[in-house]
Amino acid sequence: MTQYRDTELNELLAQGRIPRHVAIIMDGNGRWARRRGMPRIAGHRAGVESVRRVVSACGDHGVEVLTLFAFSSENWKRPQQEVGLLMELFLTVLKKEVKKLHRNNVRLKVVGAREAFSEKLQERIRIAENLTRDNDGLTLVIAANYGGRWDVTQAARQLAEQVARGELKPEQIDERRLGEHLAVADLPEPDLFIRTGGEQRISNFLLWQLAYTELYFTDVLWPDFDREQFELALRSFAGRQRRFGRTGEQVERVAGA
């Protein structure tokens, strides 16, 4: 059975129907913990295990970029204790995992308003990014203190500053130029978006970049999201026809040409 599944996925890979970029909202850690009578942070800790599994599966299937929403601009509103414990967890994970990521040729990139984090955490992020910057395997993007609206706003501000300095005319601003100032400008747009935990929302994740992304929602809680669940999402993606505004007939003509 496993062998059959692997063959099928290999075929999809050969047909170029494996997403280049997968973006995930890892939801459901709190509920996973509560169902076990455990504190919420235990769910986040279990969530780290799912991160490991998905990173490894992405590497195996040839996904180029994996973006994980680890902490949103709105997550500061959570109880102070949970925020503090999450920050500690990020620090520990960065310290513990970065060498392993490096050995596996993973390039780590953190996007978001990182100046809000402690100096210690910012320093760890810098160390991890510098160590892995030349790796050419999977690019792992951690969105931390990130919000889609924040991203578009900071890009607009950079353009406005260029206009104010006389380096740019307002009429030169187009989608391409704005896109170049977004936090993940150098990466392909996500092909597949996954949200675990049952909610069907984007929650201020990559608003600009998700314009044409295939959306996949699952009730599975993030700590229970394993390789098999990830492969279900890949298979769902492979079965979809991406039209980018064209008609189905046009897409079929191009594919058949």
Distance CA 84, CA 78 (A): 10
**Which one of the spans 44-52, 59-67, 115-123, 227-235 is the region binding ligand FPP (CB under 6 A)?**
44-52
Q: Pattern of binders to ligand FPP over 54-73, x per CB under 6 A?
A: --------------x-x---
Question: Interface residues for ligand FPP in 70-89 (CB under 6 A)?
Answer: 70, 75, 89
208, 152 Cβ separation under 8 angstroms? yes
**Which one of the spans 26-34, 100-108, 185-193, 230-238 is the region binding ligand FPP (CB under 6 A)?**
26-34
Query: Would you count residue 93 as binding ligand FPP (CB under 6 A)?
Result: yes
Q: Pattern of binders to ligand FPP over 137-166, x per CB under 6 A?
A: -----x------------------------
Say which of 6, 10, 60, 75 is annotated catalytic.
75
Distance CA 128, CA 91 (A): 11
CA–centroid distance for 218 within its chain: 16
Query: Would you count residue 26 as binding ligand FPP (CB under 6 A)?
Result: yes
Q: Does residue 204 have an active-site annotation?
A: no
Q: Which of 12, 48, 173, 232 binds ligand FPP (CB under 6 A)?
A: 48
By beta-carbon proximity to ligand FPP, the closer residue of 24 and 155 is 24
Reported as type and span, the H/E element at residue 25 is strand 21-25
E strands, 46-148, in order: 65-72, 107-111, 139-146
Q: Coil, strand, or helix at residue 27?
A: coil
Query: Would you count residue 190 as binding ligand FPP (CB under 6 A)?
Result: no
How many residues touch ligand FPP under the rule CB under 6 A: the total is: 18
Distance in Å, CB of 1 to ligand FPP, minimum: 29
Distance CA 245, CA 229 (A): 29
Q: What angle do CA 22, 77, 156 make, to 5 degrees?
A: 60
b/e 41-78 (16+ beta carbons within 10 angstroms → b)? bbbbbbbbebbeebbebbbebebbbbbbbbbbbebeeb
Burial of 39 (0-12, 13-18, 19+ CB in 10 A): middle
Distance in Å, CB of 137 to ligand FPP, minimum: 17
**Which one of the spans 40-48, 107-115, 122-130, 244-252 is the region binding ligand FPP (CB under 6 A)?**
40-48
CA–centroid distance for 25 within its chain: 7
Q: Does residue 219 have an active-site annotation?
A: no
Q: Which of 9, 24, 30, 238 binds ligand FPP (CB under 6 A)?
A: 30
Query: Would you count residue 90 as binding ligand FPP (CB under 6 A)?
Result: yes
Query: Would you count residue 168 as binding ligand FPP (CB under 6 A)?
Result: no
Distance CA 99, CA 111 (A): 20
Q: Which residues bind ligand FPP (CB under 6 A)?
A: 26-31, 44, 47-48, 51, 68, 70, 75, 89-90, 93, 142, 197
The residues carrying an active-site annotation are 27, 75
